[in-house]
Structure 1
Amino acid sequence: MEFLHQLWLQDERWEVGQPAIVDSSAAYQPQQLHDQSGQCARWLQGLGVRPGNRVMVVADASFSSICMLAACSMVDATFTIISPEVPIIRRSTIVNEIEPTVILVDSLSAVAPEFLTLDPVFRRYQWSVTSLTGVDVFRTRAVGTDAAWIVFTSGSTGKPKGIVMSHAAVLSFWDGLIAHMQPPLGSRYASLSPLQFDFSLLDIGLCLGSGTTLYFPNRLLLHKPTQLLKVLSQWGITHMSSVPTVWKLMLKLCGKDISEFTSLKRIVFAGEHFPAEHMRSIHDQLPGVDFYNIYGQSESIACTFEVLGPRYFLSETPHAPIGKGHRAIEMMLWDSDGRRISEPDQIGELVIRGLPLFSGYWKLPKETATRLIDDPAYPEFAHKVFKTGDNCYFDVQGCFYFVGRCDNQIKVNGNRVELEEIERHLNAFDGISNSCVLTVGDGQDTELHAVVVVQVGGQSPQSLEAQLRAHLSGVLPGYMLPRKYHLREDIPITANGKNDRQKLKSLLVLD
């Protein structure tokens, strides 16, 4: 098996009558997935798409969009997915970067009209297409090391950064994921992430590669948590995959209704910290549910999977365990001098090696060279390791724990501070649904400001601030205590569901 469509389109994995995909419009059988993917592939070839070309797909997750992604794999085209909600400036930047042969737009999505040049031949698939001047490539056959997709994330310079993943890397990851999770027969798995987020691609590979029915709720329901919960319950969902922000909203707006979601057995999450307080609230209503923490970077999709049971969220553990890594990778810690850390409970940068690593950053060779470096254990060969930029430590059993980003590690009066550590303690305070710690000033003048979202009102800002100060003073040293507090109804998040620190800073007066 060399290509992602070969994993997705294996009909023998499915029981008779079991749908492969259910979206807001209908349920689709495995044979329909196989047949329509083939039709889409032939259509792409008719448009002039050739091996090595890039195809931009502007769409939400649905049966139709999955067929199109499979078709790209079948013709050996590299796809880039853009959410219909992405602003035109960012979308145009990505178009200029990858120079796609075609841009495919799901006409059912709410998308700006500048890409909607309708092709009548393809209207029956409810897609539209814009042809561009693609870059010729020189390939005569496809191989597994060809690029399967380019996923764009926020770059440190403010410009989107493309992460190139090969078929071989993706399949190696999915192999480790399927072996580790092994959804039971009859599982119903709901994916709530936007299609452009590689967490969604993780869900697709897991389900279609293991014979698990994949459900795509209408993403508009994310703004209507009560209705979303009702739909998931009606579908009999057993596994729900989303960023924790989705659960924060449901707990805030329809928390008492969660007890009716009796079919749910596992909550799968990634991308951000899941507050232990929220896990406890869900567990109180659904005692049989466990929490599956998927940790990693887009450069490897993910690297660890760990079940968090009551022993974690009913205790006062400061950091969530992330596991030991799946079978296709090795995880290690390096100190600031690049030496491997062999003793437990010492913080260092997480470095990983193995087949599931990305090929490089699109058109960024210098940045690629700083993160994807030669393996010092094998300097004579072309083996690479990836410096993740994450600070972690491991315990005596070899289980790793995430501490925070290296770039969110700052110095306050000469002391090292992890912003995520302060946020964890803020999120643990009763009534706080989200928080974000920002820095103001530089060097010796650096100050910490805490932005918090209150789940339950009824008290003055001054009273809440005093309680938060007392709470943090009991668990953190003085240099880690925020100087000022800002109360907001929400915190802006990125398209991938994470706190948007830069946008938040622009919305506040920090002095």
Structure 2
Amino acid sequence: MQRIDQLLGRGAPNAPALVDRDRSLDYGEMAARVAAIAGGLSAHAAPGDRVAIWLPKGLEAVLALFAVSRAGCVAVPVNPVLRGQQVDHILADSGAALLLTHRQRAAALAAPPCPLLLVEEDWDALEASPPAGDDAPGGDRLAALLYTSGSTGLPKGVMVTHANMLVGARSVATYLGTRADDRVLAVLPLSFDFGLSQVTTAFHAGACAVLLDYLMPRDVVQAVARHGITQLAAVPPLWVQLVALEWPVGAVAGLRTLSNSGGRLPVPTVRALRALFPHARLHLMYGLTEAFRSTTLPPELADSHPDSIGRAIPDAEILVVRPDGSLTDDGEPGELVHCGPLVSLGYWQDPERTAQRFRPAPPASRLGGMAVWSGDTVVRDADGLLRFVGREDETIKTMGTRVSPTEIEELAYQSGAVAQVVALGVADDMAGHRIRLVASPAKGLSPVQAEKQLKAHMKREAAPYMQPASIIWLEQLPVSANGKLDRAGLRSAYAQTIASARRG
């Protein structure tokens, strides 16, 4: 299998492949429509051209993504929540030859740098086109540009090959145990590698992907019950909200597999998930857009190691190294380095940033080649399990000591006072940094009650240099376009001097 559209050949022709509200397609119907749309796209874009897709998560978006592959072009999925200037940047940066979107979205672009195809006007003609041939190249050819959310600086496109995506789908389907009778709820953006993975993993197994653009977390619960969902993946902010809701007995009983990525899940949320879904397998994962997915914790260890991100997934080699590239000892912090066939080609037209993150594998690597040096600090224990410590660029240096925001946040979660929390370092002439927490209160607590409980816990459990100098309470913490906590946005908004903050 060479191209990602050929995943559609893995399902039985009459088996359900895709559900979008009241519309559905089986594998045979989907393959035929993808071939026709690819034929239509070939009249507007040449092989190797970048084709941007700025559509809500729905049947058309999925068909277009796979049709771009069949046509030999490069897909550029654009997060539907992005707006004019961000989309303009992605179109210009990718050198898109074509944009497929809706009329209303097109109107928000001041001067699109490429021709447009509008669903309202052009979709029927695309689907009525003679089918494209099946000879477009795949393998190590570029399949997609996945743009990061742009929380720090302008979004950058990660160059993902067909092989990256196919190996990733196989790897994830293997360790999740995805089967043809699974129904996978896709709640994350298709422009996000974790979101796109829900679809490719389902298709690899011949399972059914159910698309959901949710407005409220309760919509997810209702969709799980309505569609008989067996697999559900989410990022930490959504899981925090989902465990606080009432779930129908049937929906709980039907879920077989849960997974988390896009940030470490707070231990109290892990415990809550295990209590709410005692019969489901919970996978705590770690991933990088630059290498798709890196680690997963075996579900049978979720209760005993709820703070771990596990071990390397199939087809990945994960090393923990010192600054000189040598392997760390057990218990010694080091940088996580990902080697193997999931490593992408780097950043689109950005050799400088590519050279910083993509470097030759450490000498101890079995697989060699180019590796992703994540910039993330982890610790490996004697059993080979990894624990996430933090990112170097987020480390707080206070009173001469380096402190991981993750460690502070975990202490805050243990207090039971917060639903969500982010620890920030704020510049201070005397201490270097002071610690500020931005948090939302736990259910049933007012900000005043939560602050009293949190401070008492931190005073008991945290070293003096880890005590927060100030706490800012929000009803809910903001999230990025991919649904993850918007740490960069919070730093920008709340990294002013401590003196100006409200003190407890």
How far is 1:233 from its partner? 0.5
Distance 1:335 1:257, change over 3 A: same
Partner of 1:10: 9
Work out the CA distance in 2 between the residues paired with 1:166 and 1:117.
25
Distance 1:157 1:464, change over 3 A: closer
Partner of 1:346: 332
The answer on 1:501 being equivalent to 2:487 is yes
1:269-418 paired onto structure 2 within 5 Å = 269-309=260-300, 312-313=302-303, 320-341=307-328, 343-377=329-363, 383-418=369-404
- Match of residue 93, structure 2, among 91, 97, 101: 97
TM-score after normalising by structure 1: 0.87
Work out the CA distance in 2 between the residues paired with 1:378 and 1:354.
13
Deviations 1:438-468 (A, max 9, x none): 121157331110011113245461x432321
How far is 1:378 from its partner? 9.2
- Match of residue 435, structure 2, among 432, 440, 448: 448
Partner of 2:232: 240
Partner of 1:133: none
How far is 1:121 from its partner? 6.2
Aligned to 2:384, what secondary structure does the other structure show? coil
Work out the CA distance in 2 between the residues paired with 1:67 and 1:263.
28
The percent of aligned pairs where both chains have the same amino acid is: 25
Partner of 1:142: 137
Aligned to 2:443, what secondary structure does the other structure show? coil
Work out the CA distance in 2 between the residues paired with 1:125 and 1:394.
55
Aligned to 2:452, what secondary structure does the other structure show? helix
Partner of 1:132: none
Partner of 1:257: 247
Amino acid at match of 2:18: I
Aligned to 1:100, what secondary structure does the other structure show? coil
Partner of 2:458: 472
Distance 1:227 1:84, change over 3 A: closer
Gapped runs of 5+ residues in structure 2? 128-134, 499-504
Does structure 2 conserve the Cα–Cα contact (< 8 Å) formed by 1:106 and 1:126? no
Partner of 1:429: 415
Aligned to 2:265, what secondary structure does the other structure show? coil
* Runs of 4+ with deviation above 6 angstroms: none
Does structure 2 conserve the Cα–Cα contact (< 8 Å) formed by 1:37 and 1:67? yes
How far is 1:282 from its partner? 3.5
Distance 1:120 1:200, change over 3 A: closer
- Match of residue 81, structure 1, among 69, 77, 82: 77
Does structure 1 conserve the Cα–Cα contact (< 8 Å) formed by 2:399 and 2:465? yes
The answer on 1:222 being equivalent to 2:232 is no
Aligned to 1:357, what secondary structure does the other structure show? coil
Does structure 2 conserve the Cα–Cα contact (< 8 Å) formed by 1:348 and 1:392? yes
Deviations 1:308-355 (A, max 9, x none): 45x544x6x5x62222212322111111233222x2111100112111
Partner of 1:134: none
Does structure 1 conserve the Cα–Cα contact (< 8 Å) formed by 2:235 and 2:483? yes
Distance 1:259 1:488, change over 3 A: farther
- Match of residue 206, structure 2, among 197, 206, 211: 211
How far is 1:493 from its partner? 0.8
TM-score after normalising by structure 2: 0.88
Deviations 1:83-110 (A, max 9, x none): 2220211111111101111001156x87
Does structure 2 conserve the Cα–Cα contact (< 8 Å) formed by 1:349 and 1:406? no
Partner of 2:131: none
1:27-176 paired onto structure 2 within 5 Å = 27-47=24-44, 49-106=45-102, 113-114=108-109, 118=118, 122-124=122-124, 142-154=137-149, 158-176=153-171
Deviations 1:164-211 (A, max 9, x none): 111122222222222222224421111110111111111111100011
Does structure 1 conserve the Cα–Cα contact (< 8 Å) formed by 2:14 and 2:28? no
Amino acid at match of 2:315: A
Does structure 2 conserve the Cα–Cα contact (< 8 Å) formed by 1:258 and 1:282? no
How far is 1:28 from its partner? 1.0
